[in-house]
């Protein structure tokens, strides 16, 4: 809420908050009947929500921006005044959203307003001294979006104007250039352009359809993932997509996670649920036989598809979907093995991130909210043990991290790793969760060295996250130009004339026989148009063949970067391709 007090505000935040007020005044001047909601500073800018008599247009934004610059150049002072509740209600009598905010301010708490020129707003501040402290050449209105009042879909839909403000024009230009680059890399746009995946309203919102090229990328990642897991002592599971509701009651999801689960379906008088998590199914497999201390640890991976209810307003391409495949794994171990197992997962996660080109990442240690322990399951002793094991593993690896109070899942604390992409944005990636509670709830045991039953510890983890989110992140990380080892098409053969088609197809077959992904463009388009198309499709190599190449058993090699490597014998090109794949080079 905008009226909430802010203990500390940077000068930039003050300036952006002030810009939101200047924008609100411009909207009120230009659109009679506008109703004000809230307008805070946010990261990289500000916004203000309005209830307006008509939809805003791009032309409106231009006019609002021009009016803002007039107010900035007039250098109106921002004046703060404390008012009584009655004064505030009288002042905003025709502003229903402001009246609602006023009524929620606790009795005895100060109610303040800020004014500049002819505009007054309910606001706790702080602001800059005057509108002139906002650089008129450093502001830009960016977009309009819908936003429910108070984030509640049962409340009115408002129009939110997003803007940005910077101390200098150079900083604004740099920020706008970054936005343009983000748009250029948008996985939704590139996914369509490169024919990777799609969504269909008739099939259901938030459900991804993988096209052949996107599916090929996913397959390559999954096969790499499986082989690396086998190498590190994991086995692979497959489990059902639905389970009886009783399973989710035992696991605790029914009590603690129900709002994210789909409604039960009746099957012959019993209730079943689409699984939101894979973990209870791994537990059932564990329970199929008596386990000895010598059997542990058990490391079981599963590329398991789960379904979670997400409101339509938060769905966002492949980044926020309703059905997704997690690169899940569950480790069952003895308490004395826990720290080593966590370190092993950290090492695997680091290896995976580096392989895909993520050299920078942020690590968070998510622990309980010490003030609200009732929302977590399990004993105090087990929570302390779990948090200490994660902490020791991070310290042992010499990794810096941020402690996140209250961010733990209901069943255990976690390490969350957020990878930074080429634009410095953080993406949710590997997660490592320690769980003493599932073994308790499902009565999991192993026979110890003393011949007595003991409780194993369970570790839930992903090292990529979900395939949907991970591939979307890669599309944006690489701007659609996948490295050779991941590219759905690694090379396109381009015959110069029809008489070269047979040779192009014979070369393509040799490459396919060697396990490479190639196509022949023997369309009637001119050679330059074919090269351009291959570049737009972001194919790593274009192999042009004409009379000279046919005679020499060669291919003329061009990279999608525009680099011309000239003619090379086919064997030499295949060796180059093999090295690209082996090294997983990114270029």
Tell me the CATH number at 567: 3.40.50.800
Looking at the fold, whether 418 and 278 belong to one and the same domain comes out as: yes
**Residue 134, pLDDT score:** 97
> Residue 197: enclosing H or E segment and its boundaries?
strand 197-199
Looking at the fold, whether 276 and 216 belong to one and the same domain comes out as: yes
Looking at the fold, whether 458 and 537 belong to one and the same domain comes out as: no
> Residue 247: enclosing H or E segment and its boundaries?
helix 245-251
Q: What does each C-alpha distance from 81 to 22, 78, 87 come to in angstroms?
A: 18, 10, 11
Token pair belonging to 157: 């839909």
**Residue 108, pLDDT score:** 87
- Strand segments (E) across 421-552: 426-435, 446-447, 453-454, 457-466, 491-495, 518-520, 541-545
Secondary structure (3-state) at 47: strand
Strands 491-495 and 541-545: parallel
Q: Which domain holds residue 348?
A: 197-477
Looking at the fold, whether 278 and 407 belong to one and the same domain comes out as: yes
**Nearest Cα residue to 382 out of 337, 331, 438, 332:** 438
Domains contained in the chain, number: 3
Looking at the fold, whether 143 and 242 belong to one and the same domain comes out as: no
In a domain, 565, yes or no: yes
Looking at the fold, whether 163 and 213 belong to one and the same domain comes out as: no
Q: What does each C-alpha distance from 358 to 329, 354, 427, 473, 474 come to in angstroms?
A: 21, 5, 10, 11, 10
**Residue 7, pLDDT score:** 37
Q: What does each C-alpha distance from 165 to 1, 57, 91, 371, 559 come to in angstroms?
A: 21, 21, 29, 38, 40
- The DSSP annotation for 387-398 comes to HHHHHHHHHHTT
Convert the pLDDT of each residue in 476-531 to its tens digit.
Answer: 999 999 999 999 999 999 999 999 999 999 999 999 999 999 999 999 999 999 99
In a domain, 5, yes or no: no
Looking at the fold, whether 51 and 154 belong to one and the same domain comes out as: yes
Looking at the fold, whether 470 and 553 belong to one and the same domain comes out as: no
Higher local confidence (pLDDT), 110 or 412 = 110
Give the mean pLDDT of 374-388: 83
Domain at 248, CATH number: 3.30.930.10
**Residue 8, pLDDT score:** 44
Looking at the fold, whether 394 and 330 belong to one and the same domain comes out as: yes
Looking at the fold, whether 55 and 26 belong to one and the same domain comes out as: yes
How many beta carbons lie within 10 A of that of residue 54, not counting itself? 9
Higher local confidence (pLDDT), 420 or 163 = 163
> For the chain, what percent of residues have pLDDT higher than 70?
98
Give the mean pLDDT of 543-569: 95
Q: Which one-letter DSSP state was computed for residue 407? A: -
Alpha helix segments (H runs only) across 397-539: 437-441, 467-477, 501-513, 527-536
In a domain, 528, yes or no: yes
Q: What is the distance between the terminal CA atoms of the chain, rounded to a whole angstrom?
A: 46
Give the mean pLDDT of 412-436: 88
Convert the pLDDT of each residue in 264-295 to its tens digit.
Answer: 999 999 999 999 999 999 999 999 999 999 99
90-119 per-residue burial string, b: 16 or more CB within 10 A, e: under 16? ebbeebebbeebbeebeeeeebbbbbbbeb
Average pLDDT value for the chain: 93
Give the mean pLDDT of 368-387: 82
Residue pair 310/468 in contact (Cβ under 8 Å)? The answer is no
| Tokens 């307008």 found at | 39
Domain at 149, CATH number: 3.30.980.10
Looking at the fold, whether 457 and 542 belong to one and the same domain comes out as: no
Strand-pairing partners, residue 446, are 454
In a domain, 6, yes or no: no
**Residue 9, pLDDT score:** 59
Q: Give CA–CA dist 41/23, Å, rounded.
A: 12
Token pair belonging to 535: 């570049």
In a domain, 192, yes or no: no
Asked which of 128, 150, 184 is the last residue of a domain, the reply is 184
Residue pair 523/537 in contact (Cβ under 8 Å)? The answer is no
pTM (predicted TM-score): 0.86
In a domain, 473, yes or no: yes
Asked which of 139, 155, 184 is the last residue of a domain, the reply is 184
Looking at the fold, whether 175 and 44 belong to one and the same domain comes out as: yes
**Residue 426, pLDDT score:** 85
Convert the pLDDT of each residue in 302-325 to its tens digit.
Answer: 999 999 998 887 889 999 999 999
Convert the pLDDT of each residue in 249-262 to its tens digit.
Answer: 998 888 878 888 99
Give the mean pLDDT of 223-251: 95
Residue pair 489/324 in contact (Cβ under 8 Å)? The answer is no
| Tokens 């307006």 found at | 52
Token pair belonging to 398: 């010499």
**Residue 312, pLDDT score:** 82
Q: Which one-letter DSSP state was computed for residue 77? A: B
């Amino acid at each position: 809420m905008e009226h909430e007090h802010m203990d500390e505000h940077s000068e930039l935040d003050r300036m952006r908050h002030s810009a939101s007020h200047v924008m609100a005044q411009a909207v009120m001047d230009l659109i009679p009947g506008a109703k004000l909601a809230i307008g805070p500073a946010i990261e990289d800018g500000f916004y203000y929500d309005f209830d307006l008599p008509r939809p805003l247009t791009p032309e409106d934004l231009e006019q609002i921006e021009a009016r803002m610059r007039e107010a900035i150049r007039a250098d109106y002072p921002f004046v703060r005044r404390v008012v009584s509740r009655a004064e505030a209600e009288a002042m905003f009598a025709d502003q229903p959203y402001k009246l609602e905010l006023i009524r929620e301010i606790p009795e005895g708490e100060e109610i303040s307003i800020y004014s500049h020129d002819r505009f007054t707003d309910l606001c706790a501040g702080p602001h800059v001294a005057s509108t002139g402290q906002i650089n008129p050449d450093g502001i830009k209105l960016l977009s309009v979006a819908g936003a429910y009042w108070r984030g509640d879909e049962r409340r009115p839909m408002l129009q939110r104007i997003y803007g940005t403000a910077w101390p200098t024009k150079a900083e604004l230009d740099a920020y706008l250039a970054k936005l343009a680059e983000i748009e250029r890399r948008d996985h939704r746009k590139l996914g369509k352009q490169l024919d990777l995946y799609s969504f269909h309203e008739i099939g259901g919102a938030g459900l991804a359809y993988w096209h052949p090229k996107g599916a090929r990328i996913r397959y390559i990642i999954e096969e790499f993932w499986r082989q690396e897991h086998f190498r590190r002592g994991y086995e692979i599971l497959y489990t059902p997509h639905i389970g009886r509701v009783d399973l989710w009651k035992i696991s605790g999801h029914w009590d603690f996670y129900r709002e994210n689960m789909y409604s039960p379906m009746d099957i012959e008088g019993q209730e079943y649920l689409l699984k939101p998590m894979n973990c209870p199914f791994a537990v059932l497999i564990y329970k199929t036989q008596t386990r000895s201390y010598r059997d542990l640890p058990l490391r079981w991976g599963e590329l398991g598809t789960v379904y979670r209810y997400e409101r339509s307003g938060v769905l966002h391409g492949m980044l926020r979907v309703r059905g997704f495949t997690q690169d899940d794994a569950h480790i069952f171990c003895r308490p004395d093995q826990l720290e080593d197992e966590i370190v092993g997962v950290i090492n695997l996660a680091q290896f995976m991130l580096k392989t895909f080109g993520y050299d920078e990442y942020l690590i968070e240690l998510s622990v309980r909210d010490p003030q609200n322990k009732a929302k977590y399951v399990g004993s105090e002793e087990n929570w302390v043990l779990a948090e200490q094991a994660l902490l020791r593993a991070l310290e042992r690896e010499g990794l810096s991290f941020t402690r996140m109070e209250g961010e733990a899942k209901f069943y255990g604390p976690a390490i969350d790793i957020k990878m930074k992409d080429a634009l410095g944005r953080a993406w949710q990636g590997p997660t490592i969760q320690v769980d003493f509670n599932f073994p308790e709830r499902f009565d999991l045991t192993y026979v110890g060295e003393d011949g007595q039953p003991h409780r194993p510890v369970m570790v839930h983890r992903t090292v990529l996250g979900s395939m949907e989110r991970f591939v979307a992140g890669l599309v944006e990380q690489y701007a659609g130009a996948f490295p050779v080892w991941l590219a759905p098409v690694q090379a396109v053969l381009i015959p110069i004339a029809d008489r070269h088609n047979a040779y192009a197809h014979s070369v393509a077959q040799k490459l396919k026989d060697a396990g490479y992904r190639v196509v022949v463009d023997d369309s009637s388009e001119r050679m330059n148009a074919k090269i351009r198309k291959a570049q737009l499709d972001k194919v790593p190599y274009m192999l042009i063949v004409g009379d000279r190449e046919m005679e020499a058993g060669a291919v003329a090699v061009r990279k999608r970067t525009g680099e011309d490597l000239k003619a090379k014998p086919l064997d030499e090109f295949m060796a180059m391709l093999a090295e690209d794949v082996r090294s997983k080079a990114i270029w």
